[in-house]
Structure 1
Amino acid sequence: MRDADDPTVCICQEVTEKELLAAVALGHHDLPALREATGANTGCGDCAVDIEELLEFALPDGRTSLR
């Protein structure tokens, strides 16, 4: 069952926004790192733009840390 408060970003691997943000909080700050940590973007690849946008949101101003 899908959670309306946690949208699926990568449909192929069923990776949600919260899972990606948790991985960012653990230090995975680029697409290759998130791919390795979560499996996102390892299927069709269509979610790459969405993941990059999520990174821009989570790490504004080019920061590489949430702190």
Structure 2
Amino acid sequence: MKNNIRVIRKGLKLSQEELAKQCGVTRQTINAIENNKYDPTLSLAYKLSKHLNTPIEKLFHYEEEPI
């Protein structure tokens, strides 16, 4: 799953550390999500949406993997 979190976070002038604290996770978790190495739980996706003031549909883009 691809995402726009880094672009939106930087546009709001938030550091990974600040966003992580707001969402109750580590900076490493935010980094892994931004680098498409970790898909967040639904609960964390909603927290990211809330703290980035952006609908979930605009944060994440689902791409099916070829079979």
TM category, shorter: 0.3 to 0.5
Structure with greater proportional helix content: 2
TM-score normalised to the size of structure 1?
Answer: 0.32
TM-score normalised to the size of structure 2?
Answer: 0.32
Where relative contact order (Cα < 8 A, 6+ residues apart) is larger, the structure is 2
